[in-house]
Structure formats: C-alpha cells, structure tokens
Amino acid sequence: MVETRFSKFLQKLGFSGAGHQYEPLERGELETLFDEECELKAIEKEKMVVALPPKEASKHHREDLAEAFCVDLEKGLSEFSVTQRRLAHGWNEFVADNSEPGWKKYLDQFKNPLILLLLASALVSTLTKKYEDAVSIAMAVLIVVTVAFIQEYRSEKSLEELTKLVPPECNCIREGKLQHLLARDLVPGDIVSLSIGDRIPADIRLTEVTDLLVDESSFTGEAEPCSKTDTPLTGEGDLTSLRNIVFMGTLVQCGKGQGVVIGTGEKSQFGEVFKMMRAEETPKTPLQKSMDSLGKQLTLFSFCIIGVIILTGWLQGKHLLSMFTIGVSLAVAAIPEGLPIVVMVTLVLGVLRMAKKQVIVKKLPIVETLGCCNVICSDKTGTLTANEMTVTQLVTSDGLHAEVSGVGYNGQGTVCLLPSKEVIKEFSNVSVGKLVEAGCVANNAIIRKNTVMGQPTEGALIALAMKMDLSDIKDSYVRKKEIPFSSEQKWMAVKCSPKTEEHEDMYFMKGAFEEVIRYCTMYNHGGIPLPLTPQQRAFCQQEEKKMGLLGLRVLALASGPELGQLTFLGLVGIIDPPRAGVKEAVQILSESGVSVKMITGDALETALAIGRNIGLCNGKLSAMSGEEMDSMEQDKLADHVGKVSVFFRTSPKHKLKIIKALQESGAIVAMTGDGVNDAVALKSADIGIAMGQTGTDVSKEAANMILVDDDFSAIMNAVEEGKGIFHNIKNFVRFQLSTSISALSLIALSTMCNLPNPLNAMQILWINIIMDGPPAQSLGVEPVDKDTLRQPPRNVKDTILSRALILRILLSASVIISGTLFIFWKEIPEDKASTPRTTTMTFTCFVFFDLFNALTCRSQTKLIFEIGFLRNHMFLYSVLGSILGQLAVIYIPPLQKVFQTENLSALDLLLLTGLASSVFILSELLKLCEKFCSRAKKAQIHHEEV
C-alpha cells in the first residue's frame, strides 16, 4: 500500500531532456504520505519491543517498564500495537511438535531389527519361489506393525481426551477498557488484571498488588503460596525469589493485582521448560534393546546354519546351489516370525489391563520397562503428597496434646485427645475448642466442594473446625476490623464483636509463635486466663520447636480484648500430608528391590518429615540439597546419588541432573511428577509418569505414562505387569526356539545321513502353524504370577536369550529330537523307504512333543501344579484344538490324502503320548532340582550370617 502511493508520488515527477518538470502534490496526497511515514515509524517502534527476562524485569520501576514496552499502564495497548507485536512475537502458546504424519509413524514401526530380519526372510522365500512362506511372513509382519500403530494411536487419542481443558482466559486492559480475552491473544506489554482463582496467562511483572498470594507449586514444587509485591527488587536471587513476578501456569490463591506481560509463549519460563523438554531425547526401552539383541543373535544363528549345511553338502559332493537353497529355507524356518506378534499381543494386553486400572500408557514397550525399573524418583508436592494443607497436631497453652486425622479440605476425620484417644467435638474440651475457634474466626478462607478459596493454611484451619463441628462459629461474630498478614509482621488479626451477647469487642490473632507471644500477657488454662510466666513461655517455645522438627508449619493463636493484652491459646501444626496408599506402595516397592527417592523444592525439615511418614529407606534418610549438587562434579554425583533418598531445595535443572547421574550409574529410572518443573526430568527418565488430574499439560506431554486418578500405588500394578510381560516373552521364545531347532535338526540330520525326509512339506507346515499359532500365542497371555512383584528388577544387560534359557532350550530340543528319531528309526522299513505309517508316527510324535513342551514352558521356575493347570484358559483351548486337529489329520480320509497319513491304533497313541511326556517330566524335574539348590544356598547364606 505504501509502495503504491509512493509510486504515484513519483509519477508526479516528470523528466524531459535534461530538465525536470514538477507537478505540485495535492494537499490530501501530502497528508497521506505523512500518515504513511508515521505508520512506518510506529511499526518500527513496535518491532523494537522485546520480551524481558524475569530477573531484569524485577529490577525495573513502573516508569521504566512503561517505557521499555511502549505502553500506558492505565490505558494499555492499542489494537494496532497488539497486531504488530503479534506479528513479531506470535501467539501466546506453544504447540508440541506432533506434526509427524500418520504414514511416517506407521513406517517407523518397521525399524525394529527383528521385523527387518523377517522382511529379509520373506524376500529370500520369494527369490527361492516359496511364495506361501513369503505371504505368511509378510502377513505376520503387517499384523504386528498395524497392531502397534493402532494401539499407540489410541493411547495418543486417550491422552488428547485427558488434556482437553477449557481454553485459559484472562482480563486485559486495552485502549482504556477492561476486556475478557483468551490467554493466547496476549502480547508483551499487555496490561493484565488478576483476581482470586485466575490462572496466570503469561509471565507478568506486577505493578499493582493487594494481598496477592500465588500458588507456584506447579512451577517451584513449594506447597506454600508465595506472597507478592509490586516494588522493584535490588538483590540477586533465583526465579523462586522474584516476588514481583508471577509466572505462566501458576494460580492466584488470594487477593488481586495488575501487571505488564513481560514474556509470552516460548519466551516465558513455562516455555523455557518446554523447549528443554523437547531437546531431551527419550531413551530406548530395555525391551527394545533386548529385541534388537535377539534379532542380531538370530541373524547370526541363521548364517551359521546356512554355512554348516553348504559346507557339509560340498564335502559330500552335492550340488552347491541345491544345498544353498536348503540352507536358506532352514534358516528362514528358524526365524520365529510369531515372536513379534506375541510380543505385540503381550504388550497390548498389558496396556489394556493397565487402562482398566486407570493408567494410560503412551508407548507399548514402556509397560515392560517398569519390570527393569530399580529407581523411582518422585516429586513430593501433588504426587507423594495431596497438595492440600492439613492440620495434624494441636498443643493447647495448658499442655494438652491432640492429633487430627483426615486429609484435605473437608470435614472427614476426627480430633483425638492424647493419650486417651477421646474424640473432641465443639467445646467438649474448652482449651481445644477455644484454640480451634480462634483459627476459624481469624480467617478469610472459604471451603466449597472440597476446594479452598483463599490461603491453603487458612483452609486447613477451616477444615479443622469442620471436624469439630465448629465451622459455623465464625457466623456468631461480626467483624469490625482486620489487620492483614504481612511478611514483615508475620501475623494477622481481626477485631470482632459477638452477635448474641453484650460482650466487649475481641481480637483474634494467628501467626508465627515468636511474634504472637509478644502480644500475650496471659495464657488459657481450661478456660481460665492465668498470667503468662517465663516458665510457661519456655514450655510453649519448646513445643513449637518439637513441631517444627517434625516438618510441620506451626501457627500460634491468641485472643483478647486488646492487642497488647491477649491470652495465648496454643499451637497448631500444619503439613501437606502423604496421599492415601503411598506408604504401603513405597514399602512394597522397597521390598521388591525398587529404591524410591523423593525430590522437592521444600526445606530440609519438611522433606525429612514427609520422607519418614511414607517410610523412605525405613526411616534411615540421607538428604542432599540443590546447592550441594551444583558444587559437585557429574561423575562424583553419579557415585553419590544412589545413597541419597531425599533431595531438597531443587529446581528443574537439579531434577534433570539427578536423573542423568542415576542413569550413568546404570539405573533404570522412573520419574513421577505433576508440575511444569517436572517436565524435563519426565522426558529424560526411562519412564516418565505424570498425574492425570493435578498434572499440568506440559507434564502429561513429557510423560510416557499417566496415572488418571493420581494414585501412586498404581505404579505397583505397572511394575507387576512389566515383570510378567518379560517372563511371558521368555516362555514363548523358549518354546518356539526349542521347537524350531528340533524341526531343523531332524531335517538336517536326515539330509546329511542320506535318509528319506521324516516329515513331508504339508506336515512341516502343520508343525509351523502349531509353532507360531494358538498354542504358542497363548503363552504370551499367561496371567501375571502373584510372586512376580517380590522378585528384584531384571538387569537391563540380561538378554532374552540368557545362558540359563539357552540350556533349557537345548535340553528340550535334544529330548524332542531323540524321541522323534527313535520313533522314526523304529518305524522305518529295512529298505529305508518312507511309508505313510513312518511319517504319520514321526509327525504325530513331534506334534505331541510340541504340546507337552508348551505345557512346561508356561513358567521357567514354577511347577505346573504351583501356577495352576487351569489358570490360562486360552492355552487349554488352543492345546485342545491342536489335539483335535492332529486327530482329524490322522483319521479323516480327505485330510489323510493331503497330509499323506494313515490310521494309528490306540496303543500307538498311548506309546506316543508316554514318550512325548518325557520332555515335560524332565523339565519339571529340572525346576524341582533348581528349587532345592536355591533353598540350600539361601539356608547356607543365612547360616553364615548368623
């Protein structure tokens, strides 16, 4: 537009020969040019406005802020300024980079080495014209990758549903008017008005404040709300000490305020955490590493088979190409194409079982990873604790002690006198009643629907009054005056007059003990005021110290006619208590070899108190601060973190440091959290676990798992699932490899010894169906064993094909080969020609061996009678189906022609059943021997310790 008008201006200037001809500009055109020039300058001026870092903004005076952001603090920005700034700074939001198209996510499923190996075997089958094999392998691969893609897509959708919140809104002053806007519309320099219950929409430097308290627990981890000011700060400090700045995502608990937006979107502190989180790579899961390793081992095994057969054929003088074809066919048969399907089915079933227990798993392999997890680092506020301040102890001025049960902002729970455990209601005990009354009257909080409107500590006092049926006591007074709390005086007081009786006005005061006691001259003794002696003052001070050492926030309460003549009533101890079930979960996890560590922004005393309450390290706690971590080298930290159970005064970077140090020391780390400050650690941990209800969107985005009900004890179920899944995968691998080695060895031995093939092509196909079909698949759905949780986490370095498993595979394979060769040798005629009876007996013998082998593969360590014969219904149905199918192949004439079989007598079947059961009997005896050896070893260790 500007260029068009400028060109019109140039057209007014003509050039003829050497001289210039000028045309005078019209007045309207001249004004337009000046307007355009002013507009260009205004645009340039708006482009100069930049977001300010919180530390820098905290030092600015009001006038400096107005100048830096080119804004009138009374009228706000103009719509022109907002438009130009949005072009420069973008919308006040940040979008997770989920732009990866669906087809790319689908193709990523093919990166698994085992899948690539199967695709290679399908290609070889096509080249050797074995199209049936190629089609079956390709179908298996497609099923696996499709199931994985669909399940992960569903998990993502579940997460989207979970995080669909009402778009955040705000009140903003623009062009002199207070407007209600979406938070995403804000730009740097906007003037935002804040009131109780508002979610802070951006980073804001406060310019006006009235009793403003902000809950920054999602950002700092501190349960106690932060008191805010509008005066410039001079000293240096960390982000948590910037009392004139409020951060995006935090919540206004009390009071009101106004301020200038200093940072939006990714330029906010919330955005900084988000960028750090995106920069963190999610580590590969142990199962993915194990499957990669198994894929490489099977590839090596396949090449060895091909090499041995080609060498043997060459030594026997056979045609090299035919021997290569046989070798490749056997190698392809050796690859368990059913394994990826079993792994997928096992993981999907694990995810579905977890979903029923209110746990959303975003990536399939994560379910199994919890089976290897040996360290759980947990954020304190909102994860281990309820993030609801609660009174737990009372001490009256005359020395009575009472304990308070129940958690949260409700009337559930009781107040019991100690040591008698007498339940107190209303004024059944005058001293306790007066103490609770003072806490309820000197109070501005309101509890509605189990939610506190106001300060959490005041909410705790209201909840205490509700437990004693005294919550309405406040209504029996008329408030005349309030002296608000300030960080300098450390107390608040109200002046009231009783509604019912003609009594004189009363003051009720609450605050820090050392401040409140200065205004007291008397103390309450069973309802009678007595002079406050130095001895009585010392007793109260001692009680206050005792409560402080327990990590409680201690409030002193007093009442009286004048501020200098108050009667001291006693002390209340407040804490953010542990969630229900956390203590039991920590104990069970510790017994199963999982170390639980607590990370918090709180002070040492509070952190240790919660640590003791939930039973961390059986009460033998070792603590480390964020400052100590900063002064320690990373390698030293890696050696030290394993011994520490409580980390206090930590920031997001400290959490990340802890995770990295633990991973360096070889630990598989799960991290639980709910706040913005947990996001980076959640992303970098092996398993990130977010809270579904109290968790912020950024923490849910970073995590691999979400506890929908915020129930920490659900982690135990997840650990149990993880351990069970790996056991089932090992059971399947053992069955399939022992079967495939047996089949390969039979064919290879007959080929090398110039004997007829013991099995024809259709019989081998039938065995393959059993090997990869229902009996094999049903091993993957074996219910999780009850003793699984007590077992220590598996070592990540342990491969699926461990030494013990290989020995079991070889034992089963040697028994199957020996038994089948014995039947083949017994039934083969003298002329060594293959007859239908020979192949039928050999084929049936192999199938029966296979089914008995599957039965013993249901557990690696437990006898069949211990795990329960009828527990896995799918296994029973699949084995019964296989037996009926085998009998149909033997006795139904049309199938006899296809499989080249003939009828067998009852004695034949009895002989084959007895012989085939030997693989089951030997395996069970081996388990029994291992059990006795293990018990003897434990007894010897115990004896040596004694």
CA 233/CA 54 separation, integer angstroms: 11
For residue 108, indicate whether it is catalytic: no
CA-angle at 360, arms to 358 and 362, nearest 5°: 175
Could you give the CA distance from residue 400 to residue 333 in angstroms, rounded to a whole number?
Answer: 80
Pairing of strands 687-691, 669-673: parallel
**For residue 49, what are its two tokens?**
């406005």
Helix, strand or coil, per DSSP, at residue 685? coil
Phi-psi region of 483 (alpha: psi -120 to 50; beta: other; left: phi over 0): beta
3-state class (DSSP) for residue 417: strand
Annotated catalytic residue, options 198, 203, 215, 379: 379
Query: CA-CA distance, 935 to 946, in Å (whole number)?
Result: 16
* H helix intervals, 753-797: 761-772, 774-779
- Tokens encoding 716: 């135990």
Tell me if 858 sits within 8 A of 782, measured CB to CB.
Answer: yes
DSSP 380: I
**Degrees (nearest 5) of the Cα angle 922, 927, 928?**
95
Residues 897, 902, 906, 908, Cα dihedral to 10°: -130
- How far apart (Å, rounded) are the C-alpha atoms in residues 906 and 889? 15
- Backbone phi, then psi, for 793, in 5-degree steps? -60, 145
Q: How far is CA 511 from CA 225, 439, 457, 490, 508, in A?
A: 15, 10, 11, 6, 11
Provide the β-strand partners of residue 571.
Answer: 395, 556
Q: What DSSP assignment string belongs to 133-145? A: HHHHHHHHHHHHH
How many Å apart are CA 759 and CA 775, to the nearest integer?
A: 21
Distance in angstroms (rounded) separating the CA atoms of residues 830 and 176: 109
Conformational region of residue 317, where left means phi above 0, alpha means psi within -120 to 50, and beta covers everything else = left
Name the packing angle between helices 338-356 and 113-127 (round to 10°).
140
Residues listed for the chain: 946
**Hey, which residues does 209 pair with through a beta bridge?**
257
Query: What does the alpha-carbon distance between residue 455 and residue 449 come to, in Å, rounded to a whole number?
Result: 16
Ramachandran category for residue 877: left, alpha or beta (phi over 0 → left; psi -120 to 50 → alpha): alpha
Residue position matching structure tokens 């190698």: 331
Q: Name the DSSP class of 166.
A: P
| Cβ burial, residue 143 (10 Å; 0-12/13-18/19+) | middle
Distance between CA atoms of residues 844 and 891, nearest Å: 12
Distance CA 218, CA 99 (A): 27
Q: Give CA–CA dist 134/128, Å, rounded.
A: 10
Three-class secondary structure assignment of 532-551:
CCHHHHHHHHHHHHHHHHCC
Which residues have a catalytic role annotated?
A: 379
